[in-house]
Structure 1
Amino acid sequence: MNEEAVAWGTARGRWVLGVTVLGSALGFLDATVVNVALPAIGEDLDAGVAGLQWTVNGYLLTLSALILLGGSLADRLGRRRMFVSGVLWFTGASLLCALAPTVEALVLARVLQGIGGALLTPGSLAILESAFRREDRARAIGAWSALSGIAAAGGPLVGGYLIGALSWRWIFLINLPLGLLVAFFALRHVPESRDETATGRLDVPGSALAAIGLGGVTFALTRASEGGAVTGVIGVAGVLALGAFLAVERRSAHPMLPLSIFSSRQFTAANLLTFTVYAALGGVFFLLVVYLQTSLGYSPLAAGAASLPITGLMLALSSRAGALAQRRGPRLPLTVGPLLLAAGMALMLRIDPGDGYVGSVLPAVFVFGLGLAATVAPVTATALAAAEEHHAGLASGVNNAVSRVAQLLAVAVLPLVAGLSGEDFADPAALAAGFKIAMATAAGLALAGAALAFATISDDVLELCDGADLLIHDAQYTPAEFEQKRHWGHCTVDYAVHVAAEAGAKRLALFHHDPSHDDTTVDCLLAGARVTAGNRIDEVVAAYEGLTILL
């Protein structure tokens, strides 16, 4: 629960949105800006290909390993508290990155940065989900997605400027004033919220197994190109740890990851879609800036500026895509968006050494940006809306973990699929050939995402339970029960039917003791259910007759 629901368009709403966007932007910026800085880092620190890969992957390793724990801690200890803790940790680690005298020290500092990212990333979205009024959440998440996407897309541009004008170290130093400002304004303007139902001790065995499992799999993926028995053993150990994690969570009285969260078909489908789309995105963001510099001769600043159309489209269209998903349902944007992403990647196959920006690069990034703007906000809103509000931090952690692992998989596997070794990244001809194979593969992933969305995503997942409060109240729940249910305000049609079943059974029980509950009351309840359930009214009728408990 939150202290007081925040309304969209109010001063406090703008503060909450601004703080969460700036906080998440720290992580998003760092994830993309470092790619542009790799050549400068390699030259300054005399780093080889392996050291540069670990400069990227060291951050993603701890982020992926600990992000589920970060989401769980946010729900349990307070979403604002963990968000601010993550921002401050991330800021301190950024200073260590900027001061790193060797590539080994830089990798260690990046590993520490990932811990901060694992705390702040799920917290930022969970704050939005719990702080805003239920009717404003999709719009807030759409704005968050747009502005965070701009941070990710604008990272190469900012990085290119800082590297050219100052030094690669400034891509980390810029986080210091930003991080301190975010922490200050979060404590001043963001309401605290937590899962009031969380009881008992922290699930230490589950937390440890999740970290070992995700960390082991991530490590194996990042070392996939090098091979070796040690890499294989660690990867297998990670998979086994994840299996043990699921077994422990199934038996735990207070699990870190209640497996019931996946009983929602929409939550599972949204996360599968997230995996396919972000795997495709990871390949593009990792390879495009390198390709433009190595094969087309762009400077770091020019390579970053090439993605400006993506930034503009995210700013102009992302929040509108979120609003469209709220009004019409997310199925359309989540089908069309990945199709546009695939089309943009297909256009990238036409980019050859010597081509001009306007005739070759611009059409590809423009269409790609349209797809990104149509996809990011609806898929995020769908994943969060399909989970119960008291699991907002955990749902955000799961969705973020899925997206990060997908990007890691893309960075590790796409170069292998494309036949690119470490030396090929410095060879314009070899990189050009591999880039096209990688883009074709990424386009296939985006097409798979479009098919998945069309087949599985329901248009009613973002509908509000307009009649749920009436249903519960008129079914004579106690005030405490009513208040608990009312705070699950983002509930889906599936949940409305579940409420109808509970209310219907209680209604029949009360009828035998209080004949004043006549058919008029039943008609009123069914009318409220009809508003929420739409074409599933037959299930609601059955539920109210107390014939069965659905879902």
Structure 2
Amino acid sequence: MILLPSSSPLPMPVPRSARQRARPPFHAALPSIKEFPMNESGLRSSMIALSMCNFMVAFMVSGVGACLPSIGNDLHASAGDLSLISAVYVLSLVIFNIVAAQLIAIMGQRRVFLYGFAIFLVMCLSLAFSPNVELVWGQRFIQGAGAAMVATSSVTLLISIAPRSMQGRLMGLLTASTYVGIALGPLVGGGIATALGWRWLFVVLLPLGVLAWIAMFRTVRVRQVPVPTGLDLPGIAVMGAGFVLLTIGASCVGRYDFAGWFLAAGLAVLVLFVLVELRVPRPVVDVRFIAAHPSLILGLFAALVNFGSINGLLYYFMLYLQQLRFLTPLEAGAFVALQSVAQSLLSPLAGKLSDRIGPDPVSAIGLAFSGAGILLSSRLDMHSSLLFVGLTQCIIGVGLAFFAGPNTLSIVRSVDASHTPEASGLANTMRTLGMLISLIIVSATMTRYLGTHGAGPEMAEPFLRGMRLDLRLFVAFNVLGLALVSLRILNAWRCGLGKGVDCMPDPSFLEEEDGNGGSGGQAGSEDGAAERNTGGKRA
């Protein structure tokens, strides 16, 4: 359970002007915090270690994708076998992002992070010695579980160790480290596979990972009130079955007629999962709690539609650049990497803006840029300038930088302290589900317009028609996301007038109440935490 920085609960929302007066400037934030459990040096060391861990996880995810052809040649794996390497990893992320939230309630976010990153590192080492592709499937599934534990606990750790007045910019730095890993993975991973072989990809960064794990173990200390609960094994089993069916169906859309049956069965099982969760005393997903918090629901669905629009772009851009514009894989990868470069550079700025004006307005800016970049991309044809292609990638990257981190921060702030891990896990799961939705849409569209043909020059016109159709749909996704975030902004304004719903008291105002500037991370008293977490009451 995470302890929010406060000395006493506040029953009413706080006017914006009071919140602004309570927030100290950046250079004065850390020295003025009396309840904060870390000094400035400790916070800096912890954030460096946390960023290194997230960088390595993201680097491995994108780097493995670049090495799939080499893995196939070495292990004599078919294209279908290679696609399963990515599919089982995504499946593991979807399941264990949610399970990790319940593990945090039992073990604490620090232990979950350390265990998860240790699992990830051990699987990296074992993958370097895999004798066949079947073993790789199992190793990647376990590695995905470790990555999910890291992703879910990273956000809760940041909220735990950072003062509220700095959470936005630190979230931006954490997001930037992830995007740097995504950007470098294909380039460095492809270079390692070419020069040394694919197995070295899993070995080269191991020393860095071990150092990051030791740094996390030594620097991060979070006060934790244990929760007497256990894993919701029936719920996890039903949820896992539903996501397995959905993943199989998504992977088979356009190739096999039974794909629709698997998708329908997966949705039916997930409906059964909701019914199961309503009956168990300590569910892995607290359906009643989520239903009672519309602000949380709006943030989660905004993440779903945004990531549902972005993932399909990578597929279309890579095919467009390689098959229609005859760029090499390296050249096409460099164009797509512009998106991650923009994300890396601007995520810290988005975090600072989140601290100044709130995360929801920044998320709205990000959705507007994402939609504009995708709309411009829908105008691509066989004669479009490559400079224009690069411009669209940069605009989309700006949108993601301003949306991803701020929206995550907004989601975890939508709930009380005891439900922060669950909110973080759900946010990660919704992003992954968005990827699956994008895969289904793209596969169905390409099957309709290309049939069994490849996306070569002779099929350029039908390919471009299908691509434009999906890109316009993805623009609509971002417009929907913008509407959802706008509803959150409107509700926050109404909360300031005492008329909103699901209003949370702003803990930053308590700094002014205390008169000591201390926003604290998690260092409030356990008695105060117990008082705040009795049911998560709203004003």
> Which category of TM-score, normalised to the shorter sequence, fits these structures?
0.7 to 0.9
Where do residues 304-453 of structure 1 align in structure 2 (5 Å cutoff)?
A: 304-352=333-381, 357=386, 359-419=387-447, 427=456, 429-430=458-459, 433=464, 434-453=466-485
- Unpaired runs of 5+ residues, structure 2, are 4-34, 494-502, 515-524
Shift of 1:398: 0.7
2:88 to 58, 79, 92: 58
- Unpaired runs of 5+ residues, structure 1, are 473-478, 499-551
Quote the Cα distance in structure 1 between the aligned partners of 2:334 and 2:214.
31
- Corresponding letter in the other structure for 1:54: L
TM-score (norm 2): 0.79
1:465 to 504, 507, 513: 507
- Corresponding letter in the other structure for 2:486: F
Deviates more, 1:246-255 or 1:424-433: 424-433
Where do residues 38-77 of structure 1 align in structure 2 (5 Å cutoff)?
A: 38-77=68-107
Quote the Cα distance in structure 1 between the aligned partners of 2:199 and 2:382.
30
Where do residues 527-538 of structure 1 align in structure 2 (5 Å cutoff)?
A: none
1:120-149 C-alpha deviation (Å, 9 max, x unpaired): 221111211222223322222122122222
Bigger Rg, which one: 1
Q: Which has the higher contact order (CA 8 A, sep 6+)?
A: 2
After superposition, the Cα gap between the structure-2 partners of 1:287 and 1:266, relative to the gap in structure 1 and judged at 3 Å, is same
For the 8 Å contact 1:86–1:115, the answer to whether it is kept is yes
RMSD: 3.3
Quote the Cα distance in structure 1 between the aligned partners of 2:533 and 2:60.
35
Quote the Cα distance in structure 1 between the aligned partners of 2:450 and 2:198.
25
For the 8 Å contact 1:86–1:116, the answer to whether it is kept is yes
1:289 paired with 2:318, answer yes
Quote the Cα distance in structure 2 between the aligned partners of 1:40 and 1:351.
32
TM-score (norm 1): 0.78
1:16 to 39, 46, 54: 46
Quote the Cα distance in structure 1 between the aligned partners of 2:445 and 2:239.
28
Partner of 2:17: none
Quote the Cα distance in structure 1 between the aligned partners of 2:349 and 2:533.
26
Partner of 1:203: 232
For the 8 Å contact 1:23–1:182, the answer to whether it is kept is yes
1:8-40 C-alpha deviation (Å, 9 max, x unpaired): x82221222222222233332333333333444
1:99 paired with 2:141, answer no
For the 8 Å contact 2:363–2:407, the answer to whether it is kept is yes
For the 8 Å contact 1:67–1:401, the answer to whether it is kept is yes
1:83 paired with 2:113, answer yes
Quote the Cα distance in structure 2 between the aligned partners of 1:466 and 1:268.
23
Shift of 1:298: 3.1
Q: Percent identity?
A: 25
After superposition, the Cα gap between the structure-2 partners of 1:150 and 1:263, relative to the gap in structure 1 and judged at 3 Å, is farther
Where do residues 102-141 of structure 1 align in structure 2 (5 Å cutoff)?
A: 102-141=132-171
1:472-509 C-alpha deviation (Å, 9 max, x unpaired): 9xxxxxx8654545799xx9xx96x62xxxxxxxxxxx
Quote the Cα distance in structure 1 between the aligned partners of 2:69 and 2:468.
22
- Corresponding letter in the other structure for 2:187: L
1:30-59 C-alpha deviation (Å, 9 max, x unpaired): 333333334444444444332232122121
For the 8 Å contact 1:279–1:410, the answer to whether it is kept is yes
Quote the Cα distance in structure 2 between the aligned partners of 1:160 and 1:423.
29
For the 8 Å contact 2:165–2:355, the answer to whether it is kept is no
Quote the Cα distance in structure 1 between the aligned partners of 2:450 and 2:60.
24
Deviates more, 1:316-325 or 1:27-36: 27-36
Deviates more, 1:313-322 or 1:435-444: 435-444
Secondary structure at the counterpart of residue 293 of structure 1: helix
Quote the Cα distance in structure 1 between the aligned partners of 2:383 and 2:63.
25
- Corresponding letter in the other structure for 1:179: G
2:196 to 158, 166, 189: 166
After superposition, the Cα gap between the structure-2 partners of 1:28 and 1:263, relative to the gap in structure 1 and judged at 3 Å, is farther
After superposition, the Cα gap between the structure-2 partners of 1:409 and 1:175, relative to the gap in structure 1 and judged at 3 Å, is farther
Shift of 1:76: 1.6
Shift of 1:301: 3.1
1:34 to 56, 64, 81: 64
Partner of 2:299: 270
For the 8 Å contact 2:183–2:341, the answer to whether it is kept is no
Shift of 1:388: 1.5
